[in-house]
Amino acid sequence: MMVSRRAAALTAHAPAIAAAHLRVERDPYDPQRNPGGYLNLGTAENRLVWDLLADKVTAARNIEPRDVRYGPLHGSPQLRAATSRLLSKTWHAKVDPDHLVVVSGASAALDIVASVLCDPGEAIVVAAPYYSALDVLLTGRSGARLIPAPLSGATGFSLDARAVERAIDQARKDGVTVRAVAITSPCNPTGNVHSLAALRDVLAVAERHDLDVIADEIYANSVFGDEPFVSVLDPRLRGGNRVHVIWGFAKDFGLSGLKVGVLHTEHPEVLEAATALAYFAPVSTDTQALLTNLLADHEWVDGFLKENRARLADSYRNAAACLAEQGIPHVRPGAGFTVWTDLSRWLGEGTENQLWHRVLDEARVNLIPGTAFGSPAPGWFRLCHTTDPGHVHEALRRVGGLS
Amino acid sequence: MMVSRRAAALTAHAPAIAAAHLRVERDPYDPQRNPGGYLNLGTAENRLVWDLLADKVTAARNIEPRDVRYGPLHGSPQLRAATSRLLSKTWHAKVDPDHLVVVSGASAALDIVASVLCDPGEAIVVAAPYYSALDVLLTGRSGARLIPAPLSGATGFSLDARAVERAIDQARKDGVTVRAVAITSPCNPTGNVHSLAALRDVLAVAERHDLDVIADEIYANSVFGDEPFVSVLDPRLRGGNRVHVIWGFAKDFGLSGLKVGVLHTEHPEVLEAATALAYFAPVSTDTQALLTNLLADHEWVDGFLKENRARLADSYRNAAACLAEQGIPHVRPGAGFTVWTDLSRWLGEGTENQLWHRVLDEARVNLIPGTAFGSPAPGWFRLCHTTDPGHVHEALRRVGGLS
């Protein structure tokens, strides 16, 4: 064996979806130049807001010598202060900059919190369907394992503390040490915005079982539906210091390439350990200066977030109309970039994996199959709509035309 | 226990030097305003070149939408291509961009290569004195252990394959599985530039013992002495694909805050695993675009690196004169930002740790004690000279005045 066991396990992981993504990106659809090309509705990326960002991102930079020198590796005081102001509004909770650990991506923040909480072999129960990359992020370096808590399709896969508790109980019966409960809030892939009551119940279950809570709230400012966003840090919930939250600039600011994520924790030991681990995944001080400057313009931030929500709502409405046109059911999302789409009528006698290949090879559309999200029921796919509306229309026309 | 065993071990690590650093930064020396303040010669940072960089770093950015979207997480094709051109010159070897993994700091690259090569408990033999952070970087996440191979003070701590082989033999006798040999080249802290013959001997030892080689060449373009830099990838060495090299923009370009490091490996499995691990420590596409643009100006790069070498030589000459003035011996460096300084005449009956505290508390100078570098002999300190020459003079005046 040339590489460590851990490295070998990591590289063995899920190459099929990544390979599909590469294939799709090499032959992209264009209505004029390449009408038979692939349509990529797989990547959860917000392509609706570049015009709002361009001036800020391309402008000359107010960089000082200190901005290219070593800084605190868990984020500059300036960026943590600016981010705490934003998140205080988002979370309706007072956020102390010293409780924030800034690292190179929400992905890194997820890895860090899992590595801090779990020794190898310990488990994190996660409400399913869940963000597909959690499989790698929460386990790949930490050595932890994920145990899905399947939510019910009958209620639109809404968050249900009883499902979470059942998974905890079952894991313990199986002799597994459960260490934490993880949720995405709002939910990726479904776009469900969790109610105060549902969150309260989940926190209560975690507390009853002496577990930490990991909440990925990266879409917190991308809520466009009727249900208002409630953070797990909402003061009404009194979650305590074993509730750890992840946020980042990828989704709410459409700056996915910048790979800037934040972990918020009030637990002193978790904070200290996460700060130590940030050493291995720091953010460029150059990009930190850009984001500090962006957040300093409060009026711009408010306008941007409002306009982004309006555009997300429009984008979803277009997708919903296209889905209706093809008679394809979906879960009505209140947030995010994606629609959880029920293609089970095309399953027939086959598997979801076979259907995925038909969608990819025949319709030439890249959707991510539910399997990747730990979906409790076969035939569901995640469709990302935050791109050219014409592409979404063409993609669903093709999918609807499958035999 | 609130955090994982691994996280607890990481946070238990070496707080003394970090605490000293913080203390020093809070009360900095200024000849007029704070003549009794602390002088920080602890941080290996190049403060001599900001005037050369400022225009490039502060200019308006040529950022496209794709530069803020998800890119390959092991570095954009553009930055890897530009870096491969630079490193081909630096290393006198053809560098394939596809053999480069770009991550958030040379620190992260060191962690990644150790995690790829070593299962927990396996060992890396490292020529000592060595870069102090290797203690954390090569072991903190990988679970590997470091075994120092002490070099001899009688030869100015020059690289010696026999010392490396003795450490390998001893470790094996002790029942430890050795997986790799690590060197810093040029050496941090001594500034020694290793000869072709010395490197050939080390590679031969590694090959004979079936070990990989990790070479941290982050000072490759910061060579100012008579001995020319030779990379472990020099074609004359025919090192094979088990030789892995780390480089970054922190030292040679004075851009330490940007935290951009590179791992070069030709080994397919190591490359694949390192690429997978890069997922957890990517670099902002924004900063990648900046560096791609910087490297595209070949004439500027050549001029910058030449001027940097000249300034480093001047800076060292000043430090050497100040050391001579105080009668303090040192190893004559051929590269880097630091001087390996022999303060053993102040040891008396005490320990190096006691002397360190006298230097810090009485002289109010921050030097890093040899212990941190796995120094084979007590009383050696690393002095970083790449700052205001007046500060270096004042610091050595104070140290020389210790009773």
Buried b (16+ CB within 10 A) or exposed e, A119-146: bbebbbbbbbbbbbbbbbbbbbbbbbbb
Q: Which of B70, B116, B256 sits opposite A4 (nearest CB)?
A: B116
Whose tokens are 């300084």? That residue is B341
| Chain A residues touching residue B69 (CB < 8 angstroms) | 45, 47, 256-257
| Nearest residue of B to residue A68, measured between CA atoms | B257
* Confidence (pLDDT) at B78: 97
Q: Give which of B45, B47, B69 to mutate to test A binding, by max A Cβ within 10 Å.
A: B69
Does the structure show a pLDDT above 90 at A67?
no
Q: What is the pLDDT of residues B88-110, one digit of tens each?
A: 999 999 999 999 999 999 999 99
- Please state, in angstroms and rounded to a whole number, the distance separating the CA atoms of residues A203 and A209: 10
* Confidence (pLDDT) at A13: 66
| Chain A residues touching residue B5 (CB < 8 angstroms) | 119
pLDDT above 90: percentage of residues in chain A: 91
The per-residue pLDDT of chain A, averaged, comes to 96
Inter-chain contact B287–A282, Cβ cutoff 8 Å? no
* Confidence (pLDDT) at B70: 86
| Chain A residues touching residue B260 (CB < 8 angstroms) | 284
Inter-chain contact B115–A7, Cβ cutoff 8 Å? yes
* Confidence (pLDDT) at A40: 95
* Confidence (pLDDT) at B17: 76
Closest of A337, A332, A331 to residue A377, by C-alpha: A331
Kindly state the tokens that stand for B369: 């004690």
* Cα angle value B228/B234/B240 (rounded, 5°): 150
Residue B19: pLDDT band with limits 50, 70, 90: confident
Inter-chain contact A104–B270, Cβ cutoff 8 Å? no
Q: Which of B11, B254, B257 sits opposite A276 (nearest CB)?
A: B11
Burial of B271 (0-12, 13-18, 19+ CB in 10 A): buried
What is the assigned CATH class of domain A65-297?
alpha beta
Inter-chain contact A67–B257, Cβ cutoff 8 Å? yes
Comparison of pLDDT for B168 and B11, the residue scoring more: B168
Inter-chain contact B283–A281, Cβ cutoff 8 Å? no
Inter-chain contact B282–A259, Cβ cutoff 8 Å? yes
Residue A400: pLDDT band with limits 50, 70, 90: very high
Q: Which of A11, A65, A107 sits opposite B272 (nearest CB)?
A: A11
| Chain A residues touching residue B58 (CB < 8 angstroms) | 60-63
Q: Which of A7, A71, A122 sits opposite B257 (nearest CB)?
A: A71
| Chain B residues touching residue A255 (CB < 8 angstroms) | 68
Residue A126: strand pairing partners: A148, A182
| Residue A173 CA to its chain's centroid (Å) | 30
* Confidence (pLDDT) at A14: 58
Q: Which of B53, B107, B269 sits opposite A279 (nearest CB)?
A: B107
Closest of B21, B17, B52, B62 to residue B38, by C-alpha: B21
What is the dihedral angle through the alpha carbons of A47, A338, A397, A372, rounded to the nearest 10 degrees? 120
Is residue A83 within 8 Å of residue A102, measured between CB atoms? Answer: yes
| Chain A residues touching residue B45 (CB < 8 angstroms) | 69-70
Comparison of pLDDT for B22 and A385, the residue scoring more: A385
- Average of pLDDT values for B329-339? 98
Q: What is the pLDDT of residues A96-107, one digit of tens each?
A: 999 999 999 999
Inter-chain contact B257–A116, Cβ cutoff 8 Å? no
Whose tokens are 């590679």? That residue is B203
pLDDT above 70: percentage of residues in chain B: 99
Q: Give which of A241, A275, A280, A290 to mutate to test B binding, by max B Cβ within 10 Å.
A: A280
| Chain B residues touching residue A54 (CB < 8 angstroms) | 63
Inter-chain contact B117–A3, Cβ cutoff 8 Å? yes
* Confidence (pLDDT) at A165: 98
* Confidence (pLDDT) at B15: 62
Inter-chain contact A285–B258, Cβ cutoff 8 Å? yes
pLDDT above 70: percentage of residues in chain A: 99
Q: What is the pLDDT of residues B350-379, one digit of tens each?
A: 999 999 999 999 999 999 999 999 999 999
Comparison of pLDDT for B11 and A308, the residue scoring more: A308
Minimal Cα–Cα distance from A299 to chain B, Å? 22
* Confidence (pLDDT) at B148: 98
* Confidence (pLDDT) at A17: 76
- Please state, in angstroms and rounded to a whole number, the distance separating the CA atoms of residues B357 and B40: 14
Query: What is the side-by-side order of every strand in the sheet holding B338-342?
Result: B330-331, B338-342, B380-384, B368-369
| Chain A residues touching residue B57 (CB < 8 angstroms) | 61, 63, 68, 286
Name every residue whose Cβ is closer than 8 Å to that of residue A126 and which is 6 or more positions away in sequence.
Answer: A134, A138, A146, A147, A148, A149, A181, A182, A183, A374
* Confidence (pLDDT) at A16: 72
- Average of pLDDT values for A107-120? 97
* Confidence (pLDDT) at A340: 98
Inter-chain contact A281–B140, Cβ cutoff 8 Å? no
Is residue A355 within 8 Å of residue A345, measured between CB atoms? Answer: no
Kindly state the tokens that stand for A235: 């003061």
* Confidence (pLDDT) at A396: 98
Residue B49: pLDDT band with limits 50, 70, 90: very high
- Count Cβ–Cβ pairs < 8 Å, chain A vs chain B: 211
Domain boundaries, chain B: 5-51+301-400, 64-297
Which region among A25-34, B64-73, B229-238, B314-323 has the lowest average model confidence (pLDDT)?
A: B64-73
Amino acid type, B212: D
- Average of pLDDT values for A363-387? 96
CA distances from A160 to A126, A150, A176, A183, A215 (A): 11, 9, 22, 11, 15
The per-residue pLDDT of chain B, averaged, comes to 96
- How many C-beta atoms lie closer than 10 Å to residue A62's C-beta? 11
Closest of B46, B40, B12 to residue B314, by C-alpha: B46
Q: Which of B2, B257, B273 sits opposite A267 (nearest CB)?
A: B2
Rg (CA), chain A: 21
Inter-chain contact A60–B60, Cβ cutoff 8 Å? yes
Name every residue whose Cβ is closer than 8 Å to that of residue A221 and which is 6 or more positions away in sequence.
Answer: A90, A229, A252, A305, A308, A309
Inter-chain contact A4–B119, Cβ cutoff 8 Å? yes
| Chain B residues touching residue A142 (CB < 8 angstroms) | 4
Is residue A38 within 8 Å of residue A27, measured between CB atoms? Answer: yes
Q: What is the pLDDT of residues B107-131, one digit of tens each?
A: 999 999 999 999 999 999 999 999 9
Residue B163, CB half-sphere, CA atoms under 13 Å: how many? 21
DSSP B264-321: E---HHHHHHHHHHHTTSPPPHHHHHHHHHHHH-HHHHHHHHHHHHHHHHHHHHHHHH
Inter-chain contact B141–A142, Cβ cutoff 8 Å? no
Residue B1: pLDDT band with limits 50, 70, 90: low
* Confidence (pLDDT) at A19: 79
- Average of pLDDT values for A277-286? 96
- Please state, in angstroms and rounded to a whole number, the distance separating the CA atoms of residues A181 and A247: 17
Closest of B283, B338, B368, B295 to residue B108, by C-alpha: B283
- Average of pLDDT values for B185-190? 98
Residue A148: strand pairing partners: A126
Q: For residue A267, which phi and psi values (nearest 5 degrees)?
A: -80, 120
Minimal Cα–Cα distance from A314 to chain B, Å? 21
Residue A20: pLDDT band with limits 50, 70, 90: confident
| Chain A residues touching residue B24 (CB < 8 angstroms) | none
Is residue B39 within 8 Å of residue B396, measured between CB atoms? Answer: no
Kindly state the tokens that stand for B75: 């570095």
Q: Which of B53, B276, B286 sits opposite A68 (nearest CB)?
A: B53
β-strands B330-331, B338-342 pairing: antiparallel
Name every residue whose Cβ is closer than 8 Å to that of residue A209 and which is 6 or more positions away in sequence.
Answer: A165, A168, A178
Q: Which of A105, A115, A273 sits opposite B11 (nearest CB)?
A: A273
Burial of A381 (0-12, 13-18, 19+ CB in 10 A): buried
Q: Give which of B40, B104, B291 to mutate to test A binding, by max A Cβ within 10 Å.
A: B104
Minimal Cα–Cα distance from A255 to chain B, Å? 5
| Nearest residue of B to residue A63, measured between CA atoms | B58
* Cα angle value B220/B225/B227 (rounded, 5°): 75
Name every residue whose Cβ is closer than 8 Å to that of residue A283 and which is 6 or more positions away in sequence.
Answer: A75, A102, A103, A104, A259, A260, B104, B259, B284
Is residue B368 within 8 Å of residue B18, measured between CB atoms? Answer: no
Residue A243: strand pairing partners: A213
The kind and range of the H/E element at A384 are: strand A380-384
What is the assigned CATH class of domain A5-51+301-400?
alpha beta
Peptide bond into A186 cis (omega under 30): yes
- How many C-beta atoms lie closer than 10 Å to residue B195's C-beta? 14
Q: Find the DSSP H helices in B27-105.
A: 50-58, 77-91
Q: What is the pLDDT of residues A310-360, one digit of tens each?
A: 999 999 999 999 999 999 999 999 999 999 999 999 999 999 999 999 999
What is the assigned CATH class of domain B64-297?
alpha beta
Inter-chain contact B70–A45, Cβ cutoff 8 Å? yes
| Chain A residues touching residue B104 (CB < 8 angstroms) | 104, 281-284
Does the structure show a pLDDT above 60 at B67?
yes
Amino acid type, A336: G
Q: What is the pLDDT of residues A29-65, one digit of tens each?
A: 999 999 999 999 998 999 999 999 999 999 999 899 9
Residue A78, CB half-sphere, CA atoms under 13 Å: how many? 15
* Confidence (pLDDT) at A1: 54
- Average of pLDDT values for A254-275? 97
Whose tokens are 């469709």? That residue is A383
- Please state, in angstroms and rounded to a whole number, the distance separating the CA atoms of residues A195 and A228: 8
The kind and range of the H/E element at B399 are: helix B389-400
| Chain A residues touching residue B210 (CB < 8 angstroms) | none
Is residue B114 within 8 Å of residue B213, measured between CB atoms? Answer: no
Comparison of pLDDT for A10 and A190, the residue scoring more: A190
Name every residue whose Cβ is closer than 8 Å to that of residue B299 and which is 6 or more positions away in sequence.
Answer: none
Which region among A274-278, B68-72, B150-154 has the lowest average model confidence (pLDDT)?
A: B68-72
Minimal Cα–Cα distance from A323 to chain B, Å? 27
